[in-house]
Amino acid sequence: MNELASHPPSARSGRFLKDHLFVAVCLLAAGLCIAVLGVLLASIITQGIEHLDTHLLMNPPSRKPEKAGIYPAMIGTIYICLVCAVSAIPLGVGTAILLEEFKPRQKTLARLHGFVQLNITNLAGVPSVVYGILGMTAFVEVFKVMGSPGDPVWTLGTPENWYYLQLPFGRGVLAGGLTLMLVVLPIIIISSQEALRAVPNSLRQGALALGATRLQMVWGTTLPAAVPGIMTGTILAMSRAIGEAAPILIIAGVVYITFTPEHLMDDFTAMPLQIYDWASRPQESFHQVAASGIMVLMAILLTFNAAAVMIRQKFQR
């Protein structure tokens, strides 16, 4: 300790005072973040704990709050998220591979590559409600060129088969899942690109030097090395899909459904929709049911996030 530091002149002490003040402000800001999360969780738990039981999990919604359940919404969420995952993961990883592993050198192609990249940044910023409108027009009505959902121009199977298909799709599971796919696709593409970018170039050069074609290099070397990163990004994207309400609201609407969907064209409801329905009612008791529903939803999301964190920890080098 030297003399100067312990008895600083006033100009210096003013500057250090500023530093200390700033630390206090920072602590306040960070504390506020934690406090907000705490209040949010506490308010939901205190409101929702009463209705959280197996009755809620195993029963359909009801006009009486004490009998209301979330079972059809849970099954609906699982179905649309399956459709979303099956369609979004191959498309997203494929686009990421195209953008990261096949960067063209030729000038016009390189410009096109940059355009696709900018386009994806752009798609990531489009509000999800706009995707809902896109899904409504492109999937539910198929641009109104194929007749109406009530009177389809083409069908495959009958409503008894799970794979029952019709054109246009109508407000069914398939339309909902594909719309969610549009929402999460940019997220999957961007995170997969980051995972591929993190693979060291020496691996690629090694594969090419052994005589692999570019596709063999991607399939045998780059992709396996990037799988943990891609999985983490995909799981986070799927947790976004589970909680997304706005596009599904446009596709499915808030409907009173007490059964689980039986085929791809069947009407459905999803957990965020059911929660929105309960929360938008004026009765206090329905708010409590909404809080219980939120607890179930958050439990599922936290499981997903924990899985993503575990994969990241395990494979981090």
Partner 1 sequence: MTAINPQPAVSLPRGRPKSKILRRVRESCIMAGLIGCGVFSIATTLTIIVILSVEALRFFRLDEVSFWGFISGTKWSPLLGAEKHFGVWPLICGTLLVTAVAMAVALPLGLITAIWLSEYAKPKVRAVIKPVLEVLAGIPTVVFGFFALTVITPGLRWLHEGFGVYNAASAGLAVAVMCLPIVTSLAEDALRAVPRSLREGAFGLGATRFEVAVKVVTPAALSGIVAAFLLAIARAVGETMIVALAAGASPSLTLDPRSEVQPMTGYMVQIFLGDASNYGAEYYSSYAVAATLFLMTLLLTLIGHRVRVRYRQVYE
Binding-residue pattern over the window 181 to 220 for partner 1, x denoting contact by CB under 8 A: -x--xx--x-----------------------x-x-----
- Touching partner 1, residues 168-187 (CB under 8 A): 182, 185-186
| Separation CA 160–CA 266 (nearest Å) | 11
Stretch that binds partner 1, among 63-71, 123-131, 155-163, 194-202 (CB under 8 A): 123-131
Q: Which is nearer to partner 1, 36 or 153 (CB)?
A: 36
- Least gap, CB of 302 to partner 1 (angstroms): 8
Q: Which is nearer to partner 1, 81 or 164 (CB)?
A: 81
Q: How many residues does the chain have?
A: 317
Sign of the dihedral through C-alpha 41, 47, 49, 54: negative
Q: Should residue 120 be labelled a site residue for partner 1 when binding is judged by CB under 8 A?
A: yes
- Touching partner 1, residues 35-64 (CB under 8 A): 36-37, 39-40, 43-44, 47
Stretch that binds partner 1, among 24-32, 53-61, 63-71, 221-229 (CB under 8 A): 24-32
Q: Should residue 32 be labelled a site residue for partner 1 when binding is judged by CB under 8 A?
A: yes
List Cα–Cα distances, 272 to 76, 205, 256, 293, in angstroms. 11, 47, 14, 9
| Separation CA 185–CA 237 (nearest Å) | 8
Q: Should residue 24 be labelled a site residue for partner 1 when binding is judged by CB under 8 A?
A: no
- Least gap, CB of 284 to partner 1 (angstroms): 9
Q: Which is nearer to partner 1, 186 or 261 (CB)?
A: 186
- Least gap, CB of 200 to partner 1 (angstroms): 20
Q: Which residues pair with 120 in a beta bridge?
A: none
Q: Should residue 276 be labelled a site residue for partner 1 when binding is judged by CB under 8 A?
A: yes
Q: Should residue 161 be labelled a site residue for partner 1 when binding is judged by CB under 8 A?
A: no
Among 45, 75, 78, 129, binds partner 1 (CB under 8 A): 129
Among 5, 11, 33, 209, binds partner 1 (CB under 8 A): 33
Stretch that binds partner 1, among 2-10, 49-57, 155-163, 240-248 (CB under 8 A): 240-248
C-alpha 193 chain-centroid distance: 17
Stretch that binds partner 1, among 22-30, 63-71, 172-180, 201-209 (CB under 8 A): 22-30
Q: Which residues pair with 148 in a beta bridge?
A: 151
| Separation CA 170–CA 5 (nearest Å) | 75
Among 128, 166, 221, 269, binds partner 1 (CB under 8 A): 128
